[in-house]
Structures are given as structure tokens and as C-alpha cells.
Amino acid sequence: MPFQFHSNHFDLINSRLVAGGIDRNRWHGYMRDILRCLRGGGWCQMVELDLNAQSDNGTLTDSEPEQNETWEVTFLIITDSPIGHALRQWSDKYLQAMSQHKNPEAPRRIAHWMRQAGFTDVEERMIPLPMCGWSDDQRELDIGAANQENIRLLLGSLALYPFTELLRMTITEFHVLVAQARAEASNPALKVRP
């Protein structure tokens, strides 16, 4: 459904963290609607999270953790997927589930879609967001420490429906995966970020 706002109505449109609510086929229309609603010379700022967990030091992998790593696996993942880091499993499962109705690649495609819709002077920046306080840079360390609780909550709340309803995980499998993913997200040795 197109925006109900009048054309040339806003000087600024700030679209944040809406990717999980926009159907995969709506993005091009969403961009056109934003452009239509902006006044000439207006600004649009879009911020989305790429929920594909990464590690700055390469320790977060799809394979089984090495025995000599500095953290300890305390849960057994009860799924039919390959054993590996729970955060990678969480990311893979989330992207798989959401791909059925949403576009999990949206955070990486927004600038392209904006240009296609007719936006000019599009600036794109990928800003790493630490999941916990692990950085040597004080500012990033503080951001990671402040973000740790957000990530802990997000790992459970964002995934409950897609994992249990769309992927048919049992509630026990869901809780075990989320508990291990939370432990990994808060481990500074993994240096993780979305």
C-alpha cells in the first residue's frame, strides 16, 4: 500500500529499522513513495541492521569451534544443521526464514534502490556495530558495551516467530540456540558485529 502522505510534504524522512516489516516486493515502491513525499531539496536518511553476524578476527565460523579456542561451548545445538558457532547458525536460520517474505539483503541494497527510484547524491556508509565491548578503540568499546543488552534481547525476540513458525524449530531447540548465540555475542574474544 502506498504512503497516504501528500506529495512534497516533508523536508526530512528518517526511515530506521523497518526492513523486517517491509515485504520483499515492496522496496522499490517504498523508495518511490519516500521520494514523492519529500519536498524539493529534502533529505532522506535510512538506517538498517545487516543481521548477518560477522567476526573482525575470523573466529566466528560455520564450522565446529576448535578445542583450543578461549571460550567454551556450554550447550549442545539440537538441530539438523551442521555444528558451528551458534551466532552463525542464528544468522543463517534468520536469513533463511525471512527470505520467504522479506528481503534480508535490504541493508546492503538500499543505496542502489534509492538511486533507481531517482534519489541523487546518495551516500552509503556501512558502520560496524560491536555486539559487546571488545574493541581496542575506546569509543567502539563503549558502543559495544552499551549495545550488548540490545543484542541479547534481539536474538530472542526477533527470531521467535520465524524460527518456530516458519522453520518449525521446537521451542526447546529455539531456546538452546538463542542461549548459545547470546553467550557468543557477549564473548569479547569473538569480536562479533552484525
Residue 24: CB atoms within 10 A of its CB come to 15
Check residue 102 and report its DSSP letter: B
Q: What is the mean pLDDT of residues 104-126?
A: 94
Measured CA distances, 131 to 10, 153, 178, 182, 183 (Å): 34, 12, 14, 10, 11
Cell 534481547 maps to which residue?
A: 153
Distance between CA atoms of residues 64 and 172, nearest Å: 21
Band (pLDDT 50/70/90 cuts) for residue 3 is confident
Distance between CA atoms of residues 169 and 189, nearest Å: 29
pLDDT in tens, 9-18: 999 999 999 9
Distance between CA atoms of residues 163 and 67, nearest Å: 29
pLDDT in tens, 34-57: 999 999 999 999 999 888 887 778
pLDDT of res. 81: 41
Give pTM, 2 decimals: 0.78
pLDDT of res. 15: 96
Q: Share the mean pLDDT of the chain.
A: 85
Distance between CA atoms of residues 34 and 81, nearest Å: 40
Burial class (CB in 10 A: 0-12, 13-18, 19+), 2: exposed
In the predicted structure, residue 74 carries a pLDDT above the cut 60: no
